[in-house]
């Protein structure tokens, strides 16, 4: 008996287990059902917490012990158990403990001919199978056979029982053992026949729930490889494809389309990528390792990929993992630790990287000195003026050809070659084209670009230039809106993919480009009716192109050098198109689990013909864009799945040469050309600009370090002292080659700092800028997405960088240590990055207190001292930068990021304001740029705004004048009016769920608790025809939680009993809340 202090609910539960007569049992069951049906699920969960499930199971077992079970009690008891058990995650284990599982299975076998009783038993078995062990137990006792016999072909009778049987069968298939059993017994073929039968005969669309349940059953059955193989072998994909086409034509059948598509995607047989090897086309011998030694490490790189499930940018999105577990809680690891990781005597080599501290400025009147590591630009430029850019492929340059007669394909073949061979001769066609079509692109010179490219070292020895990089880019006049995703575009693309399996005779499947195969069959001459592809140029990435249909191509990206992974960046040339024809491109070996391409982002396109007509623009392009998991897999290793980026491009010009890229390309040669142009553009008497070689990369390319500051007004000690006491700002970028947006942002920073803007002048007078524009030149040059030539993420090498394998990181860190050792610790460090899964621009910083607060650490943070100045720059950017989102900023220190630049520079160098600045590939969801894709103009503007924000840190040291006040009133808080971009009002989530399922492996129960309640409540009807009509009316269930457990003639007695019970219970509202 319940204790005196027990609540009314506990009294009812206790009485239920000990009720000795039929009337009391019925009364208690009806009281419980009335109470639970009148409220929300909270009441049911409260009952579960008080032992309600155990009480119902005990009552069920006790009620079946008699020789002739009383179904007047058992039926409502089973109904209530189904309702409560669906909400109890432990119901399966509790049922096993109470020995109720086989009891219910026995009741089902005894009542196969009684539809109402059978349905009640089936619902209970279904909820019991929330536990895999319970499902296994039922399978061992022939539960699959018993239930399947109740799954009849199309009929107008016992519909509720049929659906309950299908649901129960699906629930039992949560067990892999049961899945294998079902396949062995041929149930996959039987399920397909059932689905076909119900589909063909459901002319009035009254049986949609049963058809949907059968699809769910097939989903569960194909969770195992044997199940998927069986479905394919039985023609299941063809059947589903045909039936789904019918469903698409009828509005009432839309609920069947998505599960059928997911099932087809799931069962589409896995196919290895059509490559001879998963490895990159390029390999590079590493210091201290044999040439092929990296093969042994492929499993490591494949198995530990960050890009598959983990965001590859500097900081992971909060939704994707448990931040509290990853946050650093060790105070000793959060405190700055500025001791060097190398002997102090080794830091002396970096003295040369601070020329402004030792320069005597006697040559202020002469031209800017050239660093000993710089290239001899004048010689290279002079060579180009009278020389021909001949083609390495053996074509001769026709001297009598007019410019307007040059075909786009000929232009590519003959004239974009940076090789020094064969330059002697008559004036080149390039020079004539530049004279006729050349336009002034700021800080860019095609001739200088070609000369600089001749010194760029690539693994493949590239000599052909990509035309956009050679000719230059100007941002379009108009900003480009995010692309609107057409409804069901992924569904359309998936159907086309499925047809490759169902209609193989329609597939061309011809290789039209292969970077690793130079045989004639891959040449454009052998494929005159197809598009022509090319990617053998700097930063290019396309390994293989396969023509699937007349206007559809599968494209395979090359893995990062010395690896078999990290495929996402692409940049290639395409020609031979027909104008006005839509071409579908499928990049089939992407690795990230999601992409901004699902949220309005478009690839970028550059047309040679448009450029020669005065429109040298990279523009956003593509329609019907979506990104989803496909059926391809790696040939070896642990990489089991890839994703397809598909988009359609309609070219505007016949026989044009176009370039397509993941994002606006920015090559290493572009950077070197830009730096040379900048150095020539500044006034050497006012701007101290030095480009030096920090170190050489593994491939022998220079990693540049740029110093920018203001020259002293004179050689007086006062002015020189002021110069040499300016704080340092260190900026880095492009540690990840695929993040080309970071280079465009840094371009904006460089150009602004070298400009004559009053704010730029003040910044040069206030700071010494040390800028390393490209930390991973080799990766950028060779078209990598993530890594250096070592197949390692350089932004994970900062703790202990290897001087031989990661020289750029080793020497950047050493230089920072040097600045620290001479008392010139940088005031600000910022590493420019790109973010592939978020919109806007934002900062990640480091805060000891915020990290401890967020992690729930018991440490008293009140006793910890921390300068809150790390937020100043973000607050300023929130006011002045339209693309910047203050609310996306984060200052938490994570264990998994302990080896990144941001964290290491904060902890070891002691830089309070150590940041990663993340820039979107897509666009903004706030402010004046909301709904617009970010272009190079906006990226460069962001670089300028970041520079401007630094002025607020030196507000008290600035020499104010009227020009500065006029240009920087808002920046310096001299104007109280906030700029109208409202970045501080953006509290939206990163992204809503994608409109269509990117993945297809998950198999969630499509039925909710309310639907089960409705089915159970309908099972008390006395009219069989009415029962069947209720379940399938309009193909949907009505949401009705009203109690129907006990026949209505008992209602009056129940209400009287409820009144009596309420008086007996201690606290009549103990369970009514």
CA gap 160, 150 in Å, rounded: 11
Q: Please give the structure tokens belonging to residue 180.
A: 């294998």
Helices vs strands, H then E, count in the chain: 41, 20
Do the strands 623-629 and 643-650 form a parallel or antiparallel pair, or are they unpaired? antiparallel
The residues near 121 (Cβ < 8 Å, ≥ 6 apart) are: 78, 104, 105, 107, 108, 111
The residues near 354 (Cβ < 8 Å, ≥ 6 apart) are: 707, 819
CA gap 146, 165 in Å, rounded: 9
Q: Please give the structure tokens belonging to residue 908.
A: 């070891």
- Element containing residue 609 per DSSP (H, E): helix 608-612
pLDDT for 6 equals: 53
From the centroid of its chain, how far is CA 1047?
55
CA gap 846, 842 in Å, rounded: 14
Neighbours of 872 (CB within 10 A): 16
Neighbour-count burial of 626, counting CB atoms closer than 10 A to its CB (0-12 exposed, 13-18 middle, 19+ buried)? buried
pLDDT for 508 equals: 95
pTM of the model: 0.86
Specify which residues 572 forms β-bridges with.
Answer: 660
Q: Residue 552: which of 591, 508, 590 has the closest Cα?
A: 508
Residue 643's SS3 state is: strand
- Element containing residue 32 per DSSP (H, E): helix 22-38
CA gap 296, 292 in Å, rounded: 8
CA distances from 106 to 281, 452, 1065 (A): 63, 83, 37
Q: Residue 150: which of 139, 162, 163 has the closest Cα?
A: 162
Instruction: Give the residue ranges of DSSP H helices in 782-934.
Output: 807-821, 848-855, 872-880, 901-904
Contact predicate 1032/208, CB 8 Å: yes
The residues near 83 (Cβ < 8 Å, ≥ 6 apart) are: 33, 36, 44, 1009, 1012, 1013, 1016
Contact predicate 294/286, CB 8 Å: yes
- Element containing residue 629 per DSSP (H, E): strand 623-629
DSSP 978: P
From the centroid of its chain, how far is CA 891?
21
Residue 780's SS3 state is: helix
From the centroid of its chain, how far is CA 606?
25
pLDDT for 1070 equals: 37
Q: Please give the structure tokens belonging to residue 563.
A: 């690896």
CA gap 543, 513 in Å, rounded: 8
Q: Please give the structure tokens belonging to residue 661.
A: 């890229």
pLDDT for 1072 equals: 33
Do the strands 657-661 and 643-650 form a parallel or antiparallel pair, or are they unpaired? unpaired
With both helix axes pointing from N to C terminus, report the angle between 115-128 and 132-140 in degrees, rounded to the nearest 10.
130
CA gap 306, 308 in Å, rounded: 6
Contact predicate 742/703, CB 8 Å: no
pLDDT for 478 equals: 92
Contact predicate 599/922, CB 8 Å: yes
Which residues are catalytic, by number? 918
The pLDDT tens digits of the residues spanning 843-901 come to 999 999 998 888 887 887 777 888 999 999 999 999 999 999 999 999 999 988 999 99
Contact predicate 560/592, CB 8 Å: no
pLDDT for 1065 equals: 39
Q: Which residues of the chain have pLDDT under 50?
A: 1-5, 296-321, 323, 365-406, 408, 422-427, 974-989, 1022-1039, 1046-1073
- Element containing residue 842 per DSSP (H, E): strand 841-844
Contacts 24+ apart (CB under 8 A), 636-639: 636/278, 636/298, 636/564, 637/278, 637/298, 637/299, 637/302, 637/303, 637/564, 638/299, 638/302, 638/303, 639/278, 639/302, 639/305, 639/308, 639/564, 639/565, 639/591
The pLDDT tens digits of the residues spanning 213-259 come to 999 999 999 999 999 999 999 999 999 999 999 898 888 888 899 99
Q: Please give the structure tokens belonging to residue 644.
A: 């397809």
Query: What is the DSSP annotation of 821-834?
Result: HTT---SEEEEEEE
CA atoms within 13 A on the CB side of 588: 28
CA gap 335, 866 in Å, rounded: 10
CA gap 427, 233 in Å, rounded: 66
pLDDT for 322 equals: 53
The residues near 276 (Cβ < 8 Å, ≥ 6 apart) are: 516
CA gap 941, 958 in Å, rounded: 23
Specify which residues 828 forms β-bridges with.
Answer: 729, 913
Q: Residue 270: which of 645, 564, 642 has the closest Cα?
A: 642
Length of the chain: 1073
DSSP 313: S
From the centroid of its chain, how far is CA 615?
33
CA distances from 583 to 507, 547, 548, 650, 922 (A): 15, 11, 11, 6, 23
The three-point CA angle 628-784-377 to 5° equals: 140
Residue 1015's SS3 state is: helix
Specify which residues 626 forms β-bridges with.
Answer: 646
Q: Residue 213: which of 162, 149, 264 has the closest Cα?
A: 162
Contact predicate 970/871, CB 8 Å: no
Instruction: Give the residue ranges of DSSP H helices in 1019-1050.
Output: 1024-1032
pLDDT for 995 equals: 83
Q: Please give the structure tokens belonging to residue 202.
A: 């459901």
Q: Please give the structure tokens belonging to residue 257.
A: 């389309």
Neighbour-count burial of 319, counting CB atoms closer than 10 A to its CB (0-12 exposed, 13-18 middle, 19+ buried)? exposed
Query: What is the DSSP annotation of 418-447?
Result: ---TT--SS--HHHHHHHHH----TT--HH
CA gap 162, 154 in Å, rounded: 10
Reduce the secondary structure of 729-751 to three states and give it as a string. Answer: EEEEECCCCCCHHHHHHHHHHHH
Q: Residue 703: which of 691, 686, 715 has the closest Cα?
A: 691
The residues near 1015 (Cβ < 8 Å, ≥ 6 apart) are: 119, 123, 160, 163, 164, 1031, 1037
DSSP 551: T
């Amino acid at each position: 008996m319940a204790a005196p202090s027990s609540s009314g609910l506990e009294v009812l539960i206790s009485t239920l287990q000990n009720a000795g007569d039929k009337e009391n049992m019925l009364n208690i069951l009806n009281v419980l059902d009335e109470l639970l049906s009148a409220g929300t699920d909270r009441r049911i969960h409260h009952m579960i917490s008080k032992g309600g499930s155990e009480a119902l199971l005990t009552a069920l077992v006790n009620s079946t012990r008699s020789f002739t079970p009383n179904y007047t009690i058992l039926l409502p008891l089973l109904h209530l158990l189904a309702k409560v058990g669906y909400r109890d995650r432990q119901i399966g284990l509790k049922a096993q403990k109470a020995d109720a599982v086989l009891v219910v299975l026995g009741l089902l076998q005894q009542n196969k001919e009684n539809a109402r009783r059978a349905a009640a038993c089936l619902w209970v078995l279904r909820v019991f199978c929330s536990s895999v062990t319970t499902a296994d137990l039922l399978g061992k006792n022939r539960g699959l056979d018993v239930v399947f016999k109740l799954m009849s072909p199309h009929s107008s009778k016992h519909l509720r029982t049929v659906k309950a049987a299908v649901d129960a069968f699906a629930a039992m298939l949560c067990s892999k053992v049961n899945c294998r059993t079902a396949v062995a017994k041929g149930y996959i073929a039987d399920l397909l026949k059932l689905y076909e039968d119900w589909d063909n005969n459901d002319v009035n669309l009254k049986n949609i729930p049963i058809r949907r349940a059968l699809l769910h059953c097939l989903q569960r059955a194909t969770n195992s490889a044997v199940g998927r193989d069986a479905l394919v072998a039985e023609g299941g994909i063809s059947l589903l494809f045909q039936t789904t086409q019918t469903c698409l034509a009828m509005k009432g059948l839309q609920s069947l389309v998505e599960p059928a598509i997911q099932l087809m995607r799931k069962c589409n047989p896995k196919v290895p990528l059509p490559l001879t090897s998963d490895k990159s086309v390029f390999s590079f011998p590493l210091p201290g390792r044999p040439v092929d030694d990296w093969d042994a490490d492929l499993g490591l790189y494949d198995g530990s990929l960050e890009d598959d499930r983990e965001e590859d940018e500097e900081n992971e999105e909060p939704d994707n993992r448990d931040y509290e577990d990853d946050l650093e809680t060790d105070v000793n690891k959060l405190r700055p630790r500025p001791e060097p990781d190398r002997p102090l005597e080794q830091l002396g080599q970096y003295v040369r990287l601070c020329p402004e501290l030792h320069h005597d400025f006697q040559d202020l009147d002469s031209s800017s000195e050239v660093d000993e590591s710089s290239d001899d630009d004048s010689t290279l430029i002079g060579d180009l003026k009278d020389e021909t850019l001949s083609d390495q492929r053996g074509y001769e340059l026709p001297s009598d050809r007019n410019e307007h007669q040059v075909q786009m394909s000929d232009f590519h073949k003959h004239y974009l070659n940076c090789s020094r061979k064969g330059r002697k001769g008559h004036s080149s066609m390039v020079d004539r084209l530049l004279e006729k079509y050349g336009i002034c692109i700021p800080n860019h010179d095609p001739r200088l670009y070609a000369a600089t490219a001749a010194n760029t070292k690539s693994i493949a020895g590239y000599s052909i230039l990509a035309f956009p990089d050679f000719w230059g880019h100007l941002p379009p006049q108009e900003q480009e809106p995010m692309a609107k995703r057409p409804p069901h575009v992924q569904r359309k693309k998936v159907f086309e993919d499925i047809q490759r399996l169902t209609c193989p005779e329609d597939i061309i499947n011809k290789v039209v480009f292969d970077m690793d195969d130079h045989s004639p069959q891959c040449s454009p001459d052998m494929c005159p009716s197809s598009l022509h592809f090319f990617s053998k140029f700097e930063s290019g990435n396309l390994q293989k192109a396969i023509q699937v249909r007349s206007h559809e191509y599968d494209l395979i990206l090359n893995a990062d050098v010395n690896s078999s992974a990290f495929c996402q960046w692409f940049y290639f040339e395409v020609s031979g198109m027909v104008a006005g024809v839509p071409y579908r491109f499928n990049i089939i070996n992407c690795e990230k689990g999601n992409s901004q391409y699902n949220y309005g982002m478009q690839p970028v396109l550059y047309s040679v013909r448009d450029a020669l007509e005065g429109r040298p623009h990279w523009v956003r392009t593509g329609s019907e864009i979506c990104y989803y998991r496909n059926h391809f897999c790696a040939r070896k290793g642990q990489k089991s799945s890839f994703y397809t980026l598909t988009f359609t491009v309609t070219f505007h010009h016949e026989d044009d040469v176009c370039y397509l890229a993941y994002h606006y390309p920015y090559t290493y040669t572009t950077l070197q050309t830009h730096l040379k142009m900048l150095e020539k553009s500044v006034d050497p008497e006012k701007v101290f600009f030095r480009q030096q070689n920090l170190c050489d990369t593994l491939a022998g390319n220079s990693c540049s370090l740029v110093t920018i500051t203001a020259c002293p007004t004179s050689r007086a000690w006062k002015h020189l002292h002021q110069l040499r006491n300016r704080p340092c700002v260190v900026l880095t970028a492009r540690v990840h080659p695929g993040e080309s947006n970071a280079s465009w942002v840094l371009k904006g920073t460089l150009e602004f700092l070298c400009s004559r803007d009053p704010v730029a002048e003040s910044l040069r007078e206030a700071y010494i800028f040390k800028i390393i524009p490209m930390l991973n030149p080799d990766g950028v040059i060779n078209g990598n997405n993530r890594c250096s030539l070592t197949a390692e993420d350089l932004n994970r090498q900062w703790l202990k960088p290897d001087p031989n394998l990661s020289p750029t990181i080793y020497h950047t860190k050493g230089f920072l240590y040097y600045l620290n050792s001479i008392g010139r610790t940088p005031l600000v460090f910022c590493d420019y990055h790109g973010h592939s899964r978020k919109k806007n621009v934002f900062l990640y910083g480091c805060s000891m207190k915020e990290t401890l607060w967020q992690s729930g650490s018991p440490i008293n943070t009140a006793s910890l001292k921390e300068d809150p100045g790390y937020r100043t720059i973000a607050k300023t950017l929130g006011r002045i930068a339209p693309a910047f989102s203050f609310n996306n900023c984060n200052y938490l220190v994570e264990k998994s990021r302990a080896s990144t630049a941001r964290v290491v520079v904060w902890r070891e160098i002691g830089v309070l304001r150590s940041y990663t600045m993340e820039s979107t590939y897509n666009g903004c969801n706030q402010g004046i740029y909301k709904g617009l894709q970010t272009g190079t103009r906006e990226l460069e503007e962001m670089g300028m705004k970041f520079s401007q924000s630094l002025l607020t840190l030196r507000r008290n040291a600035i020499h104010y004048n009227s020009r500065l006040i006029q240009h920087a009133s808002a920046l310096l808080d001299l104007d109280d009016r906030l700029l109208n971009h409202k970045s501080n009002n953006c509290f939206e989530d990163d992204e809503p769920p994608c409109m269509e399922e990117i993945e297809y492996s998950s198999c969630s129960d499509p039925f909710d608790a309310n639907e089960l309640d409705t089915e159970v409540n309908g099972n008390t009807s006395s009219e069989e025809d009415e029962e069947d009509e209720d379940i399938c009316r309009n193909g949907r269930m009505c949401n009705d939680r009203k109690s129907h457990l006990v026949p209505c003639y008992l209602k009056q007695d129940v209400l009287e009993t409820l009144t009596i019970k309420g008086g007996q219970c201690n606290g009549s509202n103990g369970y009514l809340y």
